[in-house]
Structure 1
Amino acid sequence: MARIFGHIYGQPVGSTYENRRALRNAGVHAPLRAGISGTGNDGADSIVVSGGYVDDKDYGDTIVYTGHGGRDSDTGRQVRDQELSDPGNAGLVRAGLEGLHVRVVRGRNPDSPYAPSSGLRYDGLFRVESYGAKVGIDGFRIWQFTLVKIPDEAPTTATPPPLQSTIDTDTNGPGPASVTETVIQRIVRSSKVVQQVKAWYCHECQVCGLAIEVAGGLYSEGAHIQALGSPHHGPDVVENVLCLCPNDHVRFDNGAIYLSNDLKVIDARTDQITGALTVNRSHRIDPQYVANHRARWTTGTGRE
């Protein structure tokens, strides 16, 4: 079955399930035992939070989730180091790198005020904000993932965990940073489109050929040729997306480089060709989007 990143049809937030079998039958979380559904290649599409790891922290809209591996099934304690190469852990890394939405299911946990009193409950979509390793309570290395609830979902709790500031911006001494509530409008982008383009190039930048390796795998960014949203209104399709490293993504989005009709890379400062864009034979780049990007930054004076 294809992995679905997002809500499952017919399973709204707040749906409850008697056991893991019912959860699997509903398509919300496939594994019957594992807490993470995912792989390093695909990404993680769902997790179950049930207090199985002593280092877990559940703040409602923010969850510090301990990765898979190294736990004694009888005692529930950590008995060996965790590895980031574990499929579930690698899946959460990939979800973070690609911005994939992860379904969060909470199971019964007497120690958590956010857990159901019995069975399991689907609590909506979260994103992997960050991850890292540390020595856990039991003295072994664990990998932990901070997941944050997607903003347009109904909140699980109105009170976020306290955040301490290490920067003194007050003459009376250091203290908590001030918090301002804002409303952010975001363009919804198709992760499938960007993932497909990245897969064609194995995360190698089409401009410079660089593939950035981070803990958990390779990293690249999907860059839209004709920008999305007003006033540019570029479409979210593979013909309008490039696979770039972060540096060249910034350069391209800000007009420091642009493309000629024959997909040569042009340095906007010198108007000189610096190389040719790498193009996979399966990737058909629409010349109109290229022309629109060039016109935006060169006002018609750039090389065609």
Structure 2
Amino acid sequence: MAVQFGHIAGYPTGSPFKNREELRIAGLHSQNMAGISGNAKTGADAIVVSGGYVDDADYGEIIIYTGHGGRDPNTGRQIRDQELIDSGNAALVRSELEGLPVRVIRGRHNKRHHQSPFAPSSGYRYDGLYRVESHWAKMGVDGFRVWQFRLVKLKDGEVSTPKDTSPASIDQYAVGPAPVTTSIMQRIVRNSMIAHIVKSWYSHECQVCGLAIQVEGGLYSEGAHIRGLGQPHHGPDVPENLLCLCPNDHVRFDNGAIYLTDELHVMDALTGQAVGQLRVHKNHKIDLRHVAYHRECWTKD
């Protein structure tokens, strides 16, 4: 079955289903057993949230979803580390990187772990489209490494018609300006002045590579939080938790391709080797607790 993103015609948000087979036949989720529908190449188009993992957390419009793998099918507990290369986990990462919508289907929660007030009392329910905002690793409740994904619900109008990922001719797509819709989203309010102060210390030069990007309006850099804001990280919006990075190193840092030691060596996650020393201005007091938290999200050390 081709991966298909967005709503499925004929099944509005709130549509109920008796079982996984009905979901599969309707085209909302391609798997009868696995929680993640999709693949690493094209992305994840749907997930089932049913409380199967003890580390899951469902806040309604925000879901902390534990990835696939390492679970004992009989007890539901983790018995080994999860891997990001597993197709389901890698599919969710691809959806995050490409900004692809994910259909969320909630199932009745068993009493093995915890009950969610947002779960249906029986069967399954399609609960709309979410975006994968971020992902990280952590030591789970059962003592094994798990990958987790923060999903945030999309408002009506943020995603229009479904898109099939099969190859298509450019002639199929309409010519003209993209449609514009009005929507309201809940976002964490960041203090722009804090980022401005940190960037000014470095004259917009990246603390990792030293690059300062020149654009028409002047120099450009990005403020990168070491410990993420919002659930479940709850990092503070303060200079001690902020870095001045170029866009490339910001993406690499946020996705675990590079991380920092307590000595502020910049480490390459693939090789495990130091690739440089973080540049630190005399006024910039980086909190090593946030550095350690970020590192633990991406390494087993």
**1:131 corresponds to 2:131:** no
Change (3 A) 1:189 1:25: closer
**1:117 corresponds to 2:121:** yes
**1:27 corresponds to 2:27:** yes
Residue 88 (structure 1) aligns with? 88
Question: What is the distance in 2 between the residues matched to 1:60 and 1:131?
Answer: 18
Deviations 1:214-238 (A, max 9, x none): xxxxxxxxxxxx99689xxxxxxxx
Question: What is the distance in 1 between the residues matched to 2:109 and 2:42?
Answer: 29
Is the CA contact 1:98–1:191 (under 8 Å) kept in the aligned structure 2? no
Question: What is the distance in 2 between the residues matched to 1:112 and 1:67?
Answer: 18
Which ranges of 4 or more aligned residues in structure 1 deviate by more than 6 Å? 186-193, 226-230, 250-253
Residue 3 (structure 2) aligns with? 3
3-state SS, counterpart of residue 88 of structure 2: helix
Change (3 A) 1:76 1:99: same
Is the CA contact 1:101–1:126 (under 8 Å) kept in the aligned structure 2? yes
Residue 143 (structure 1) aligns with? 147
Question: What is the distance in 2 between the residues matched to 1:152 and 1:23?
Answer: 22
Which of 1 and 2 has higher RCO (CA within 8 Å, sep 6+)? Answer: 2
Q: After superposition, where does 1:53-64 map in structure 2 within 5 Å? A: 53-64=53-64
**Cα RMSD (Å) of the superposition?**
3.5
C-alpha deviation, 1:190, in angstroms: 9.8
Is the CA contact 2:101–2:159 (under 8 Å) kept in the aligned structure 1? no
Using structure 2 for the length normalisation, give the TM-score.
0.53
Question: What is the distance in 2 between the residues matched to 1:189 and 1:16?
Answer: 21
Quick one: which amino acid aligns to residue 139 of structure 1? G
Which blocks of at least 5 consecutive residues in structure 1 are unaligned?
154-185, 197-225, 231-249, 257-304
Change (3 A) 1:106 1:187: closer
Residue 79 (structure 2) aligns with? 79
3-state SS, counterpart of residue 115 of structure 1: coil
Quick one: which amino acid aligns to residue 130 of structure 1? S
Is the CA contact 2:109–2:116 (under 8 Å) kept in the aligned structure 1? yes
3-state SS, counterpart of residue 118 of structure 1: coil
3-state SS, counterpart of residue 82 of structure 1: coil
Question: What is the distance in 2 between the residues matched to 1:189 and 1:68?
Answer: 28
Question: What is the distance in 2 between the residues matched to 1:74 and 1:30?
Answer: 23
Question: What is the distance in 1 between the residues matched to 2:11 and 2:75?
Answer: 33
Deviations 1:111-139 (A, max 9, x none): 00000000000000000000000000000
Residue 68 (structure 1) aligns with? 68
Question: What is the distance in 2 between the residues matched to 1:190 and 1:38?
Answer: 14
Deviations 1:281-303 (A, max 9, x none): xxxxxxxxxxxxxxxxxxxxxxx
Is the CA contact 1:100–1:191 (under 8 Å) kept in the aligned structure 2? no
Using structure 1 for the length normalisation, give the TM-score.
0.52
Question: What is the distance in 1 between the residues matched to 2:216 and 2:159?
Answer: 19
Question: What is the distance in 2 between the residues matched to 1:88 and 1:138?
Answer: 21
Aligned pairs, number: 177
Is the CA contact 1:127–1:149 (under 8 Å) kept in the aligned structure 2? yes
Change (3 A) 1:104 1:229: closer
Structure with the greater alpha carbon radius of gyration = 1
3-state SS, counterpart of residue 4 of structure 2: coil
C-alpha deviation, 1:152, in angstroms: 2.7
Using the aligned pairs only, state the percent identity.
59
Which blocks of at least 5 consecutive residues in structure 2 are unaligned?
169-175, 181-211, 219-301
Residue 16 (structure 2) aligns with? 16
Change (3 A) 1:64 1:227: same
Change (3 A) 1:152 1:79: same
Is the CA contact 2:4–2:162 (under 8 Å) kept in the aligned structure 1? no
Residue 45 (structure 2) aligns with? 45
Q: After superposition, where does 1:1-304 map in structure 2 within 5 Å? A: 1-109=1-109, 111-152=115-156
Is the CA contact 1:61–1:148 (under 8 Å) kept in the aligned structure 2? yes
Is the CA contact 2:96–2:133 (under 8 Å) kept in the aligned structure 1? yes
Is the CA contact 2:30–2:38 (under 8 Å) kept in the aligned structure 1? no
3-state SS, counterpart of residue 93 of structure 1: helix
Is the CA contact 2:104–2:126 (under 8 Å) kept in the aligned structure 1? yes
